[in-house]
Structure 1
Amino acid sequence: MTLRFIAKDPNTNGTQCPTAWVDDEAKEIVIQGWKAGQTLLAECLETGPVPESEAVVRLPIRMVPVLREACDVADRLGVH
C-alpha cells in the first residue's frame, strides 16, 4: 500500500484528530474521523444498513479544504 498523507484537522493538537490520506495503489481516499454517536448512527440507518466492514464517521466542516485536496490528488491518479 502506498499511503499518501494529505493533512490533519488544522484546529486540533495534531494527535488523535481527523486525518485524510490517499492510497495511491488502491486508488482510495482514506479518512480518520470521530465515530458517529448512537443518535447520528440511527439517523444514518434510516437510509439503509451499515455493513460490519464499514463505519459512519464525522468530520468538521473546516476540513473541506483537506477533503478537496485529497480529491484533487485522487483525480490526478486518473481514476473515474
Structure 2
Amino acid sequence: MTIRFVGIDPETDEDGCPTVWVDAEAGDLLVQSYTADEATTAECDSASPARSPKPQEETVIRIPQRMIPALRRACDELDSGVR
C-alpha cells in the first residue's frame, strides 16, 4: 500500500482527530473521523436508495465541514494520477 497523509482537522489537538489520507495504489481515500450517532445513522439508513440498514462491516462517519479542503486536495491528488 502507498498511503500518504493529506490533511488533518485544522482545529486539531493532534490527538484523535479527523484526518485524510490517500492510498495512491488503490486510488482510495482513507478518512478518520467521528462515528455518527445512532439517530444520524438511522436517518442515513432510511434515506438510502435501498432503504435498508448499512452492512455490518460499514459505518457512517461525520466529517466536519472544516475538513472539506483536505478532502478536495485528496480527490485532486487521486484525479491527477499521482502515484
TM-score, L = length of structure 2:
0.87
Question: Once superposed, what is the RMSD of the aligned Cα atoms?
Answer: 1.2
Match of 1:55 in 2: 59
> Of 47, 66, 70, which aligns to 2:70?
66
SS of corresponding position for 2:6? strand
- Counterparts of 1:1-80 in structure 2, within 5 Å, are 1-46=1-46, 47=48, 48=51, 49-77=53-81
SS of corresponding position for 1:72? helix
Question: Which stretches in structure 2 are left out of the alignment for 5+ residues?
Answer: none
SS of corresponding position for 1:30? strand
SS of corresponding position for 1:16? coil
The residue type equivalent to 1:23 in the other structure is D
Q: Deviations over 1:21-57 (max 9, x none)?
A: 0001111011111001001001011023311221100
TM-score, L = length of structure 1:
0.90
1:61 Cα deviation after fit? 0.4
The residue type equivalent to 2:41 in the other structure is L
The residue type equivalent to 1:19 in the other structure is T
Partners of 1:13 and 1:25 lie apart in 2 by: 30
The residue type equivalent to 1:10 in the other structure is P
Q: How many residues align?
A: 78
Partners of 1:54 and 1:27 lie apart in 2 by: 19
Question: Which stretches in structure 1 are left out of the alignment for 5+ residues?
Answer: none
